[in-house]
Structure 1
Amino acid sequence: MKLHYAPGACSMGIHVILEEIGKPYELSSVALKDGAQHKPEFKAVNPKAKVPALDLGNGGRALTEWPAIALYLGAANPEANLLPKDPAAQARALEAIDYVTGTIHPNAFTRQFRPGNFSVREEDHPQVIAQAQENADKFFDLLEKNWTGDTWVLPEGYSVADAALFFVEFWQARRVGKPLPPKLDRHLKAMLERPAVKRVLEQEGLAA
């Protein structure tokens, strides 16, 4: 397998899952800041021009979209116990992943990091960023108030959902520099202690 990723991007969560599984894989870095995602070489891998993309090594097209990749890796590697076997718990894992990737990521962080995607008028960018920061606080507060697990997202234990939550927590705490609510802060600290996460941060040049 080969993971097409960008250091510190949402693909970091898939990178964590691959490290947790422990099977051999390759990394291919995509320089998003240089626009590499829009070049023919990468668009031949993922016409959507974004990361992550996972080449399964079977000669077929790469698997794209964070939830789909996480579901595949969890289901294809049951021995890693990253995807609950109970259908209801599985659905809860996907519910958490969808909220992170479909709501928190675009509305709280893409708006902050790329305000030009949301307004062509540069004078509007501070307002776009301010709204995104308000969104982030609102979304994280909602997760805090509805937390059902102990250390991990699910009561059943560590799962692919934790790798999803990790990358937005990391952005809020390390990239934006804003504190997380107590339960989410505890979750981030627990993630940062996992050997797989430490390896990912080292490999992506993000280790403190």
Structure 2
Amino acid sequence: MAAMKFYMTPGSCSTGIHIILEELEEVFEAHIVNLPAGDNFKPDYVAINPKATIPALVRGDGGVLTEVPAIAYWLGRSRPRAKLWPSDIETETRLLEAMTYIAGTVHGHGFARIFATPTFSRNEADQDSVRALGRNIVVKGFAILNRMLGEQPYLGGEFSVADPILFYVEFWADKTGIPLPANLLAHYRRMLARPVVQRVLREEGYNPATLGNLAAP
């Protein structure tokens, strides 16, 4: 069976999936999709992923997976020996709940308004308020996720595929100067200490030593 092909953009939501693939010690081909240059709209990529989004994972059998929570779930669920997905239905459901909220709300409604403001308003006079709304959504989302995490080291108690998904929005908070509540800040620093996370960040062009210096609000 052919090696998987992973279509990604450094520093994006695909970083979470990149971490999972490395934690699983998967063999895969990495293909960079330059979002600012519009590579995601080029015919060769749209042929792989008609949504024109990243990431996309082409599995060994040629099947394509898109959407961060779906890719993370499949990777964790299909590799039970790695124990990166829980076996009890309650924890499983809570992790699905968390990943969906992170990708759909904190990212899709919050950070999207900060990073892709013109998508929400072509009128420059409105764009500051769009970004402000995005920040408010992110801050509210972090408060909710902070309660979900509690004082656990990881979202499901043990490290799972959900934690790199939480990590990528914590990483964005670090890059944009949005404070992380105490539990999330501890989780973020715990993730930054993982050797795989450090290696992935370096591969994507970041220096882990410069990250994690945020103060809790």
Q: Which amino acid aligns with 1:162?
A: D
Matches of 1:141 and 1:49, distance apart in 2: 31
Q: Does 1:57 align with 2:51?
A: no
Q: 1:48 aligns with which of 48, 51, 58?
A: 51
Q: In the alignment, which residue of structure 2 is the partner of 1:202?
A: 202
| Among candidates 39, 42, 50, match of residue 42 of structure 2 | 39
Is residue 147 of structure 1 aligned with residue 180 of structure 2?
Answer: no
Structure 1 counterpart SS, 2:125: helix
- TM-score, length-normalised on structure 1? 0.95
TM score, norm. by length of structure 2: 0.91
User: d(CA) in 1 for partners of 2:206 and 2:81?
Assistant: 29
- The amino acid across from 2:160 in the alignment is S
User: How many pairs are equivalent?
Assistant: 205
- SS of the residue corresponding to residue 4 of structure 1 reads strand
Paired residues for 1:20-39 under 5 Å: 20-39=23-42
CA distance in 2, matches of 1:99, 1:146: 11
In the alignment, is the contact (CA less than 8 A) between 1:148 and 1:154 conserved in 2?
no
State yes or no: 1:15 paired with 2:18: yes
Residue 133 of structure 1, aligned match among 132, 135, 139: 135
Amino acid in structure 2 at the alignment position of 1:184: L
The answer for unaligned runs of 5 or more in structure 1 is: none
Matches of residues 28-107 of structure 1 in structure 2 within 5 Å?
A: 28-60=31-63, 62-107=64-109
Q: What secondary structure, in the 3-state scheme, does the structure 1 residue paired with 2:49 have?
A: coil
CA distance in 1, matches of 2:134, 2:62: 40
Identity %: 44
Poorly superposed stretches of 4+, deviation over 4 Å: none
Deviates more, 1:134-143 or 1:186-195: 134-143
Deviation of the 1:23 alpha carbon:
2.1
Instruction: Supply the AA of the counterpart residue of 1:45.
Output: I
In 2, Cα distance between the equivalents of 1:130 and 1:48?
27
Unaligned runs of 5+ in 2: 209-217
Query: How far did residue 149 of structure 1 move?
Result: 5.2
**Match for residue 193 of structure 1?**
193
